[in-house]
A and B are shown apart, each in its own frame.
Chain A
Amino acid sequence: MAYAAVALGFVLALNAAGAVNFAHGDLVVLGGAVAVVVGQSGGLAAPLLLPLVALALGAVGIVAARVAIQPLAGRPPEATFVATIALAAIIEHGLAVTQGAAPRTAPALAGSGSFDIAGFALGRQPLAIVVVGGTLVAGVWFLLERTQTGRRMRAVSSDRHMARAVGIPVSRYVALSLALAGALAGIAGLLLGHQFLVAPTQGAGYMLKAYIAVALGGWGSVPGALLGALGIGFFETFVSAGFGDAWASAALYVGVLVVLAFRPQGLFGEPVGRRA
């Protein structure tokens, strides 16, 4: 579920900016770090961390847009590629310098321990993740499908040029999409940070999973990204249970390579038209 939030943010940013944001995974880590710092200073109830992290990372998302993505929109794709990777490195090393490289634990949202339901012990934190993650996904769905803002975001992703020609301030909407992507990443970081800890080097791993989810689910498709993320989650749990984490990851990566080798357009993408 938390992966779904990561993938969701990733695909929204992708659609808005027209480019992969390699710093997305580090935004997740940053969210976790914010939660750690605020949680440690005490005084703030765990659930209140959610809006705080969301707001903070939303702001970071806007900064990322204004600093690394929008100014390079007219340049060849290598420029955005390098800029977002540099941004990822800035976040990673910035965290390492200020917080240290050792992994820390983010506060659990609903406390530790478990509920007893019909004889099954349901962990409180995993339950909290599912509830929060599910709410987020539903919320984003509602935003995109049922609100004017969401419709306009989708129009911008569909055809930027035409969106401007119907009066939509495209630049603002791109920043908005990236803010939303940041907020989603941050919350995911908070959710994941309790079980998986928060360490500056985790960024690349989260980004890779989101990238795979989006590639498998159909580049730019929001439901595809969600399905991809859920698929990855199940696949990993499955294979991990039998063979361990390392094999799960390896199988995933090899799987991706195989898929891309046979279907260069991704699992659900359009067949490539031009042959040049």
Chain B
Amino acid sequence: MRPLGAFWLAALLALPILALALLPPFGQRMVTLVGIYALMGLGYQLVFGQLGALNLAQGALFGVGAYAAALMAPMLGVLAVPVAILAAALPAAIVAGPILRLQSHYFALATLALASIVNLVAVHAEGLTGGANGISGFASSLPRRAVLLAVVWTCLVAGVLIYTQLFRGRLGHEARLLREAPLVAATLGIDGGRWRLAAFVVGGALAGLAGAFSAAISGVVSPDVTGFSVMVLCLTSVVIGGSRHPMGAVVGALLAVCLPEMLRDFQDAWLLVYAVATLVIVRWAPGGLAELIDRLRGLKSPVRHKPTVPERLLPVTGAQRLVLDNVVKRFGGVEALCGVSFVVGRGEIVGLIGANGSGKTTLLNVIGGLDRADGGTITLDDASLEHLPPHAIARKGLGRTFQTLMLEGDARSSDLARAVSTGAAFLLLDEPAAGAADRERAQLASLLRRLRDAGRGIVIVDHDIDLLTGVCDRMVCLDRGRVIAIGRPAEVRADPNVRASFLGVVEAAA
């Protein structure tokens, strides 16, 4: 994500300041509303924008915050606001665990169910929520008018600044990896589960905060505040503003508050216009209005960070040996790996060869934790890896590259550079030379030697036997899940079993 920049910062500060100084109470009220919706939108940007999770519960958490504030205000005054934050963040935290494991279409459903339950409670639990009539008469205990505007916008400005600062750097990259290539993220040691939980809880907390302020500004809380229409408004305004732009939530909220005013004579029509605008933006300007404005200002798209391998490779610490002992993997009834055993030490390069279907990629997947072995052990010194999730294995010192590029705009070298940057002691490389021209192959070979000399242990799968012969200390040949040869490259190449494996059984035809 790009930094906020002077232009947007000025806009962000100017709006509340000018409103306080120049606008009549009605205008100030509108600006406060903008701030409230923007806060909810900011929270939504965390879960939906950064992580790409199809979350439909944001509106409900907004409503929870509103109700909590309304209920607590007579007793706690302005302290009801932090309580409201907690009231929204807590259910988010509790429910988040099981929900976040779900695949996206189930996740959306779960959040939708959650939101519906909240709505039902608001409408029917008359003792607690006042039922369809809601709660009123608490507004005097909460900040109002100009004070409210100041409070809301202080929170918003702080929120936007923190958000921008956090996601400019490493967090932004991690979010992008999690969103676009979760497998790659896992192999870099990024714990997707913890990430999603944090985003969901913080996003929910912001919704709760916004809800509390919304209760303050309207003076009455009714079940509408937990309805699906709030959720849709949040989603559409974030999309229209720009789901990943630092000012996306603010721009979207600005439009959401001003449009109904401009279309005052046409009641529901503004929602129709808003929905059409959302569709148009999704199709033709997916970065949102904020990004369109940036482009009009002449800003180019933010440069994607291209990881490269540093000139000086730091020596690594960590495990000394990667040991595979009798590894077995079955898919259905078929044995993809039938008892594979070998050892890789630090400071050596082992080449893994075999015909298509021999199990090479499966083996890498099993070592790295993307698939679970059905038998045998895989250990890094004393630590056994078979039951660990991929990101935990990555943290123990195992890096990996993939055969197909998973991130758009990536080059082969990016994948490898990323894996190296984790400082992993052992690297599993899956066809790093595929599609590379001769000069790149030579560069790759020299890089691999540098990595080995700096103390890494490398397992490399590739079909380029010449490349492998040049860099590998040893080669392992797989055939239908079994190791049929291990030794120095020249020996393995000359092995008649290996040659037969590649040619196929000649007498089967004719």
Contact = CB atoms under 8 A, between A and B. Distances in A.
Nearest to B54: A81
B147 interface: no
Interface string B246-286: 00000000000000000000111101101110110011001
Contacts of A76: 52, 179-180
Interface stretch (A40-48, A120-128, A207-215, A222-230): A207-215
Count chain A CB atoms within 10 A of each CB in B99, B103, B113, B124 and give the residue with the most: B113
B228 interface: yes
Contacts of A75: 286
A85 B232 contact: yes
B114 A257 contact: yes
Given A78-B48, A78-B54, A276-B186, A204 B228 contact: yes
Interface in B27-61: 48, 52, 54
B336 to A, nearest CB: 13
Contacts of B84: none
B54 A275 contact: no
A79 B286 contact: yes
Given A20-B105, A275-B369, A97 B279 contact: no
Contacts of B114: 253, 257
B289 interface: no
Given A86-B282, A246-B124, A275-B369, A260 B99 contact: yes
Given A20-B108, A253-B113, A276-B370, A97 B269 contact: yes
A68 B279 contact: yes
Interface residues of B, number: 58
B279 A86 contact: yes
Interface stretch (A29-37, A88-96, A155-163): A88-96
Nearest to A91: B275
A264 B235 contact: no
A97 B272 contact: yes
B282 A72 contact: yes
Contacts of A260: 98-99, 102, 106, 109-110
Interface in A223-257: 246, 249-250, 253-254, 256-257
Nearest to B271: A93
Q: How many of chain A's residues touch chain B, expressed as a range?
A: 35 or more
A85 B276 CA distance: 11
Contacts of B327: none
A146 interface: no
B268 A253 contact: no
Contact of A275 (B102, B179, B278, B372): B372
A55 interface: no
A113 interface: no
B412 to A, nearest CB: 21
Contacts of B267: 97
A249 B370 CA distance: 39
Given A81-B54, A85-B235, A90 B279 contact: yes
A101 interface: yes
A256 B110 contact: yes
A87 interface: yes
A119 interface: no
Contact of B106 (A96, A215, A253, A275): A215
B105 A219 contact: yes
Interface string B228-250: 11001001100100010000000
Interface string B368-386: 0111100000000000000
A97 B269 CA distance: 6
Given A246-B124, A276-B186, A264 B101 contact: yes
B206 to A, nearest CB: 19
A266 B107 CA distance: 11
A208 B108 contact: no
Given A77-B54, A266-B106, A276 B236 contact: no
A138 interface: no
Interface in B173-196: 179-180, 182-183, 186, 192
B283 A208 contact: no
A143 interface: no
Contacts of B183: 274, 276
A93 B268 contact: yes
A89 B103 contact: no
A82 interface: yes
Contacts of B497: none
Contacts of B186: 276
Given A90-B279, A93-B275, A250 B110 contact: no
A97 B233 CA distance: 17
Interface string B410-448: 000000000000000000000000000000000000000
A90 B106 CA distance: 24
A276 B389 contact: yes
A168 interface: no
A215 B110 CA distance: 10
A253 B370 contact: no
B109 A256 contact: yes
Count chain A CB atoms within 10 A of each CB in B117, B179, B236, B274 and give the residue with the most: B117
A137 interface: no
Contacts of A82: 235-236, 239, 278, 282
A246 to B, nearest CB: 5
A257 B106 CA distance: 10
B11 interface: no
B109 A97 contact: no
Contact of A71 (B105, B109, B283): B283
B282 A90 contact: no
22 contacts: A72-B282, A78-B243, A82-B235, A88-B232, A89-B272, A90-B275, A90-B279, A96-B271, A97-B268, A201-B229, A204-B228, A208-B116, A253-B116, A253-B117, A256-B113, A257-B95, A257-B114, A264-B103, A273-B371, A274-B370, A275-B370, A275-B390
A-B residue pairs, 6 tightest by C-beta: A89-B275, A261-B98, A86-B278, A93-B272, A276-B186, A253-B113
Given A89-B278, A253-B120, A276-B186, 5 more contacts: A72-B283, A86-B276, A201-B229, A250-B121, A260-B106
Interface of B: 48, 52, 54, 95, 98-99, 101-106, 108-110, 112-114, 116-117, 120-121, 123-124, 179-180, 182-183, 186, 192, 228-229, 232, 235-236, 239, 243, 266-269, 271-272, 274-276, 278-279, 282-283, 286, 369-372, 389-391
Interface of A: 20, 67-68, 71-72, 75-79, 81-83, 85-90, 93-94, 96-97, 101, 201, 204, 208, 211-212, 215, 219, 246, 249-250, 253-254, 256-257, 260-261, 264-266, 272-276
